[in-house]
């Protein structure tokens, strides 16, 4: 439950701004137990609690954040001694990596430990949106099944998942895990990305539009980069077509949301399963009442086991950097 796992950290919660800097600061909302561990081990403070005067962030060596918040250039200006940015999660698109590199600041994420749960969520969304499970749940809750003339035949037929043709944009750790799971369903899986993957026995389709045209469902599992931002546009959506489905566990900005909404409203796209959005936590209002869309609050890695593993890897990265200047899971 979000209320148990997340808290917005604000300087006001810690009383007056402090004028001396800890070795570690937090930037944005983090899991309470991660915050507690950072406070206990390093006397960590939220960035907002530091005095805003120039130079007040001197001495801070590590900033802990998430891909949803990140560390921008203006934050670096406040932290002249910063050496590392440690991300909780695999996303880092809100962090200005170029600015970090220019200042010799390194960064880490928490790869591998969340791969399985994100892949499970992706497959869950594929099943849900194609078989219309959430829509069927609402059908029952509204009492429509029990109405005179209702019954199972009153609910629209869904699409079969087993044997479906699946395309994956981004065949990294998560993409490979999604592929393995869907192959177990007898799905024909193909992919596109920056190039062929060594040791992967799956068809590579170089063009995203062509991949969308060939599949029943397109799963997005890529990083958000200049190349992938807005990659799923009107052309890709039209290639998927009225019988095709889009599933996104990557980043919301990979999709042109306005184009996706327009395609759904015009019946040019069969449905969508979405865990991420361009302007989280805000979801396009036009999607909220649609039965052909499944909406999740960016919870793909949201299990007790995975979040604990992510927390532990963040703490390992912080400890390693403060000990010898090296990160356990560095970017790049």
Please provide the average confidence, as pLDDT, over all residues in the chain. Answer: 91
Radius of gyration of the chain (CA): 22
Residues in the chain: 332
How many angstroms separate the CA atoms of 83 and 292, rounded? 46
Average pLDDT over residues 43-63: 86
What are the sequence ranges of the domains in the chain? 2-113+305-324, 115-295
Question: Which listed residue (68, 78, 181, 298) is catalytic?
Answer: 298
Q: Which of 72, 280, 305, 326 is catalytic?
A: 280
Mean pLDDT throughout 313-327? 98
User: Alpha-carbon distance 301 to 115, whole Å?
Assistant: 8
265 tagged catalytic? no
Assign 51 a pLDDT band (cuts: 50, 70, 90).
Answer: confident
251 as an active site residue: the answer is yes
Q: Is 298 a catalytic residue?
A: yes
Strand partners, 330: 108
Domains 2-113+305-324 and 115-295 share a fold: yes
Cβ atoms of residues 276 and 302 within 8 Å: no
pLDDT tens readout for residues 232-253: 999 999 999 999 999 999 999 9
Specify the CATH class of 2-113+305-324 in words: alpha beta
**Backbone dihedral angles phi then psi of residue 218, each to the nearest 5 degrees:** -110, 120
Token pair of 206 as six digits: 């170089």
Give 151's pLDDT tier (boundaries 50, 70, 90).
Answer: low
**pLDDT 10s digits, 171-185:** 999 999 999 999 999
Q: What is the pLDDT of residue 332?
A: 79
Q: Is the peptide bond before 148 cis (omega within 30 degrees of 0)?
A: no
Q: Are 240 and 164 in contact (CB under 8 A)?
A: no
pLDDT score at 12: 31
pLDDT at 276 over 50: yes
| Alpha helices, H only, the chain | 2-5, 32-42, 73-78, 97-102, 115-131, 133-141, 173-183, 208-214, 234-240, 257-265, 304-324
Is residue 8's pLDDT more than 60?
no
Provide CB contacts within 8 A for 307, sequence distance 6+: 5, 31, 301
What residues contact 218, with CB distance under 8 A and at least 6 apart? Answer: 166, 167, 168, 169, 211, 212, 232, 236, 240, 244, 245, 246, 247
What is the reported pTM? Answer: 0.89
CATH of 115-295, one of 2.60.120.560, 3.40.50.720, 3.10.450.50, 3.40.47.10: 3.40.50.720
DSSP SS3 for 107: strand
Helix%, strand%, coil% for the chain, nearest 5:
35, 15, 45
Phi and psi, residue 171, nearest 5°:
-100, 55
- Specify which of 1-5, 19-23, 28-32, 75-79 reaches the highest per-range mean pLDDT: 28-32
Among the options 251, 257, 307, 311, which is catalytic? 251
- pLDDT, residue 53, reads 58
């Amino acid at each position: 439950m979000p209320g148990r796992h997340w808290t917005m950290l604000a300087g006001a919660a810690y009383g007056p701004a402090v004028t001396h800097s800890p070795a570690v600061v937090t930037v944005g909302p983090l899991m309470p137990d991660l915050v507690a561990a950072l406070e206990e081990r390093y006397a960590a403070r939220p960035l907002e609690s530091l005095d805003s005067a120039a130079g007040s962030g001197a001495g801070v060596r590590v900033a802990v954040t998430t891909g949803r918040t990140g560390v921008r250039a203006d934050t670096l200006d406040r932290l002249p001694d910063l050496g590392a940015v440690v991300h909780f999660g695999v996303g880092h698109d809100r962090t200005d990596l170029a600015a970090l590199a220019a200042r010799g600041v390194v960064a880490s994420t928490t790869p591998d430990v969340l791969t399985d749960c994100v892949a499970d969520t992706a497959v869950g969304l594929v099943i849900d949106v194609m078989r219309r499970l959430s829509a069927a749940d609402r059908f029952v809750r509204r009492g429509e099944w029990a109405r005179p003339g209702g019954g199972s035949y009153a609910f629209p037929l869904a699409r079969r998942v087993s044997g479906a043709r699946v395309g994956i944009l981004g065949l990294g750790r998560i993409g490979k895990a999604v592929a393995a799971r869907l192959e177990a369903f007898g799905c024909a899986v193909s992919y596109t990305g920056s190039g062929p993957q060594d040791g992967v026995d799956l068809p590579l389709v170089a063009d995203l539009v062509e991949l969308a045209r060939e599949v029943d469902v397109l799963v997005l599992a890529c990083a958000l980069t200049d190349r992938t931002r807005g990659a799923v546009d009107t052309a890709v959506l039209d290639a998927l077509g009225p019988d095709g489905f889009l599933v996104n566990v990557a980043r919301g900005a990979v999709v042109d949301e306005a184009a996706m909404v327009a395609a759904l409203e015009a019946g040019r796209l069969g449905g969508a399963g979405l865990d991420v959005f361009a302007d989280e936590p805000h979801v396009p209002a036009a999607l909220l009442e649609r039965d052909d869309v499944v909406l999740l609050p960016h919870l793909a890695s949201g299990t007790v086991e995975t979040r604990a593993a992510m927390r532990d890897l963040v703490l390992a990265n912080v400890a390693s950097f403060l000990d010898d200047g090296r990160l356990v899971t560095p970017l790049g």
